[in-house]
Amino acid sequence: MSDLLRCEVENRVAWLTIDRPAKRNALTSPMWAALLRHLEAIDAVPDLAAVVLRGTRGSFCAGADLDELRDPGRVEGLRDLGERAVGRLRDLTRPTFAAIDGACFGAGCSLALACDVRICSPTSRFGIPALRNGLGYEDASVRRLVQVVGPGPAGLLLYGGERWTAEEAVAHRLVDRCSADPFAAVERVLAGLRGAPGPAIAATVASLRTAGR
């Protein structure tokens, strides 16, 4: 399963790629475990300038795998892995970017919210159908969601099960920008980071996150 979630470091940037297009990049337990391993290794990479999370072939991440969520014997392990991975992503000392195209639902929203900057395509769609699937949304992600969009819009996603277009997600600040090519838009930001010294990047990350709390 590790090939379904890859990490490649190129020119001071770590690219985390979710690659399970047949299931719109829904995450299984082995994929969560692979993501957590990659995230734990990333901070040890010398002189890394940034981390980018992306999906393949028209989806960012449709959430956690529903087959596992329907199995009472597996759901707790899946949720634990997911919460640990999302927390580790949020705590990385490098700038983190979510390049979003297509479906971004449930755990996909948790991953996107854990990133510093979120850029989506016009075809992106957002939702958190946890209650519809008989589940609670994890506390840390609820807090982050409310911090970003506010309690009212968060309620529309969580209580109402709304699905937002890219335009609505930008209006509610769930994403920072909509671009016809979100990957190229992220690359334009990376161009400035790649030439910056590591300590200056780390200091800026710490300042921005402290100011945003």
CA–CA dist 130, 118 (Å, integer): 21
Which segments within 38-192 are labelled E, that is strand?
Answer: 50-55, 59-61, 96-100, 103-105, 117-120, 125-127, 163-165, 177-178
Q: 161: which DSSP letter?
A: -
CB 20 within 8 A of CB 31: yes
Task: Answer with the residue of higher pLDDT: 134 or 166.
Answer: 166
Averaged confidence pLDDT in the chain:
94
- Residues 173-212 as b or e (16 or more Cβ within 10 Å = b): ebbbebbeebbebbeebbeebeeeeeeebeeebeeeeeee
**Which pLDDT value is given to residue 2?**
58
What class, spelled out in words, does domain 2-212 have in CATH? alpha beta
92-122 pLDDT per residue, tens: 999 999 999 999 999 999 999 999 999 999 9
Can you tell me the mean pLDDT for 173-199? 97
Please state the pTM of the whole predicted model.
0.95
- pLDDT of residue 1 exceeding 50, the answer is no
For the sheet with 125-127, list strands across it. Answer: 59-61, 103-105, 125-127, 163-165
**Which pLDDT value is given to residue 34?**
96
- Number of C-beta neighbours around residue 58 at 10 A: 14
CA–CA dist 119, 22 (Å, integer): 23
Give me the amino acid identity at 9. V
35-80 pLDDT per residue, tens: 999 999 998 999 999 999 999 999 999 999 988 887 787 878 888 8
**Which pLDDT value is given to residue 136?**
87
CA–CA dist 151, 132 (Å, integer): 19
- Domains of the chain, by residue range, sit at 2-212
Can you tell me the mean pLDDT for 180-198? 96
Task: For residue 163, give the 3-state DSSP assignment.
Answer: strand
CB 2 within 8 A of CB 34: yes
